[in-house]
Copies of this chain bind each other. A is one copy, B any other.
Amino acid sequence: MQFELTSDILVSLKDAIEEKNSLYLQDQLHDLYAPDIASIINQLNLQQAAYLYELLDDEIAPNVLLELDDDKREDLLTTFSSKQIAEQIDNMDSDDAADVISELPEELQEEVLSHIEDIDQASDIAELINYEEGTAGSLMAKELVSVYAFETVSQCIEEIRQQADDVDVMYAVYVLDNKERLIGIVSLKKLIISHPLARIEEIYEPDIQYVRTNTDTVEVGEYMQKYDLVVLPVVDQLNRLVGRITIDDVMDVIKENTDENIQRMSGISDDVDSNDKLWRLSRARIPWLIVGMCGGIIGSRIIGTYEDQIKIHPEMAYFIPLIGAMGGNVGVQSSSIIVQGLANNTLIGDNIAPKLLKELGVGLINGMICSFLIWSYAFVIEDWQLAATVSAALLTVVLCASFLGTFVPLTLNRFKINPALATGPFVTTLNDIIGITIYFLMGRILYGYF
């Protein structure tokens, strides 16, 4: 069903490009959709990419351009004249066109805009590129159908005829007052069944959800997802309708945000993917490794203070990895549940106590199970003091880790810091240190007393 690029296909395409076998290539690409062709071009070097792009027909080429990786698109556009770029952009939706143009160097942007033949398109793009990145304004498109409340149904249908582009999906018609302010919506069904001379103001639905141009895109995504909206109008500070956001654009935002959160959880501090350059991948990962290393050094200092005890009871060292690992695992489990609850709004964020209690409950159950297992093991294999130490320390560590795994993300969230940070190396490192401290403290007490 879905095209999958294998290395065999890639090799044969590269060979054909080297041989400039344009007939073979056009034949191969003919049945593919834009995202598939883009996935091929993403794997080519600049020269190969430019050659293949040249072969595409005018209809699909702009869509392929949009689907390319940002870096690859930037590279490819350096081989184009500003007039060529303008040609590609002329038929894009205004939001896509603005995205492409805003990636260009500033002096080139004006030049490209001046080459765009459709004046309306050029002025729409010029407006859109001025919105700050990460706001609803930067995400919206100008293509929409609107009518004034004082118009009649038949005028409205004529308007649709003129405004509606060649779309498969027809979104709602927005209703404006005479100051261009958004006051409601009218469904297509309503238009079809109403009398042609009825006025829009008699039939429109005044209850309408919208966002402002400066609303954060992640918030827009959550909003559309929560209320199951396929399209959402955008208004300016004066409530004038200026654009609309569709769900497919928002899905990209949601996806980027999820990917970023997963990277935070994994201790990667920058948005990278596996095709990025070596040094970028390294740089994105080194900060959390250094944090982890500092944690390890603190751990070494703590163990260092128990040097005498280790000399007498070297078996204490055996269970250091177990204690550390269990603290880390439990902490990640707790915080990931909390982070997801916060992201899905199934948690009420302002009341921490019941969640803490519940997580401690889970920690107590699982801690007791694990404690009992490790006690049995150590009692049989080692001695009873070690068994007591390890199992008591393990239970305490699991409880501590449950506490921190709940408390840290809820607290970060309260201070408007991304709680996903807490699920990563930070909590793990903290739990490691706390675990070792508890373990050796328990050891000293138990071996000391008995």
- Give A residues with C-beta under 8 Å from B: 1-2, 5-7, 10, 33, 35, 39, 42-43, 69, 160-161, 164-172, 185, 187-190, 192-193, 209, 211, 215, 219, 222-223, 225-231, 246-248, 251, 254-255, 258-259, 261-263, 265-268, 272-275, 278-279, 281-282, 285-286, 288-290, 292-293, 295-297, 299-301, 303-304, 307, 310-311, 314-326, 328-330, 332-333, 335-338, 340-341, 344-348, 350-351, 355, 358, 361-362, 365-366, 369-370, 373-374, 377, 423, 425, 428-429, 432, 436
Contact = CB atoms under 8 A, between A and B. Distances in A.
B329 A288 contact: yes
Most B CB contacts (10 A, CB to CB) among A228, A267, A304, A358 go to: A228
Nearest to A377: B297
A299 B374 CA distance: 13
B315 A317 contact: no
A1 B262 CA distance: 27
A289 B348 contact: no
Given A267-B333, A348-B43, A321 B320 contact: yes
Given A267-B333, A292-B325, 16 more contacts: A33-B209, A39-B346, A166-B189, A247-B247, A262-B265, A262-B340, A272-B337, A274-B340, A282-B365, A286-B366, A292-B326, A297-B377, A299-B321, A300-B318, A300-B321, A325-B428
A320 to B, nearest CB: 5
Contacts of A263: 336, 340
Contacts of A361: 278
The secondary-structure label for the interface of chain A is helix
Contacts of A355: 274
Contact of A332 (B166, B185, B267): B267
Nearest to A247: B247
A364 to B, nearest CB: 9
A425 B346 contact: no
A335 to B, nearest CB: 8
A328 B326 contact: no
Oligomer: number of copies: 2
B321 A373 contact: no
Contact of A274 (B164, B192, B338, B369): B338
Contacts of A246: 230
Contacts of A335: 266
A225 B275 CA distance: 20
A346 to B, nearest CB: 6
Contacts of A319: 296, 300
B317 A320 contact: yes
24 contacts: A1-B215, A2-B226, A7-B351, A35-B227, A69-B346, A251-B254, A266-B332, A266-B335, A266-B423, A268-B336, A268-B337, A273-B340, A273-B344, A273-B346, A274-B346, A274-B347, A279-B365, A286-B366, A296-B321, A296-B323, A296-B374, A299-B322, A300-B321, A324-B324
A265 B315 CA distance: 32
A200 B156 CA distance: 25
A189 B167 contact: yes
A296 B377 CA distance: 12
A1 B219 contact: yes
A344 B263 CA distance: 14
A343 to B, nearest CB: 8
Contacts of A193: 161
B317 A310 contact: yes
Contacts of A273: 337, 340-341, 344, 346
A228 B165 CA distance: 17
B329 A286 contact: no
A394 B370 CA distance: 29
A179 to B, nearest CB: 22
A232 B174 CA distance: 25
Contacts of A43: 348
A5 to B, nearest CB: 6
Contact of A310 (B160, B304, B310): B310
